């Protein structure tokens, strides 16, 4: 069975964005970029909620014209080529090899996990991750804690979900961030 893997960047105070919605604090060094690539290689489908989808689709299709960062140059073609699913009650359609799913979250994710293939990679976001964790649908959590305190903004699991996890690894990334990996019990 395929796994649903959640990959998220957070501040030391558990925020995925700053008080004004900013995401300019997550530094992608070579080790963190390498881990991101490893997760993308394990997956054949990227999963998003609408808000993260809008952020990603506004950047990755043209990333090479916006940035010369090595991570961006390597990841942009992967993003464009990998099939994507966006869970949204308001979005009707999306480009870039993306399917929009409007309802039946639990049933749809359960069905996707039962298909043959590589893992599903949920990237960032809070609402979708909280709903999926609440239903026990996330198999692995890859949480990157960055050395910044944002003092406000959206929390990782703002919905107050309770999920028991088993720590499977810790790793310092680029002498700056810490990767915590967990499996659902």
Nearest Cα neighbor of 149 from 13, 6, 3 is: 13
Q: Residues of the chain whose pLDDT is less than 50?
A: none
Quick one: tokens of 33? 């970029």
Nearest Cα neighbor of 86 from 98, 103, 69 is: 98
Quick one: tokens of 15? 């925020």
**Predicted confidence (pLDDT) per residue in 95-135, tens digit:** 999 999 998 999 999 999 999 999 999 998 889 999 999 99
Q: What is the pLDDT of residue 118?
A: 98
Q: For the chain, what are the domain ranges?
A: 4-184
Q: What is the pLDDT of residue 85?
A: 96
Pairing of strands 165-173, 98-101: unpaired
Size of the chain, expressed as the number of residues it contains:
185
The CATH superfamily of 4-184 is Dihydrofolate Reductase, subunit A (3.40.430.10)
Query: How much is the pTM?
Result: 0.94
């Amino acid at each position: 069975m395929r796994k649903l893997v959640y990959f998220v960047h957070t501040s030391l105070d558990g925020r995925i964005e700053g008080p004004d919605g900013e995401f300019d604090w997550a530094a992608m060094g070579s080790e963190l970029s390498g881990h991101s690539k490893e997760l993308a290689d394990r997956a054949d489908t990227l999963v998003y909620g609408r808000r993260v989808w809008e952020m990603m689709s506004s950047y990755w299709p043209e990333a090479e014209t916006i940035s010369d960062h090595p991570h961006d140059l390597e990841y942009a073609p992967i993003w464009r080529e990998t099939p994507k699913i966006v869970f949204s009650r308001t979005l009707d359609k999306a480009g870039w090899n993306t399917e929009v799913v409007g309802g039946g979250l639990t049933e749809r994710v359960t069905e996707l996990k039962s298909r043959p293939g590589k893992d599903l990679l949920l990237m960032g976001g809070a609402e979708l991750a909280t709903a999926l964790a609440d239903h026990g649908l996330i198999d692995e959590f890859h949480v990157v804690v960055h050395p910044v305190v944002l003092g406000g903004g959206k929390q990782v699991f703002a919905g107050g979900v309770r999920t028991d996890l088993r720590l499977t690894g810790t790793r310092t990334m680029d002498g700056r961030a810490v990767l915590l990996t967990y499996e659902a019990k």
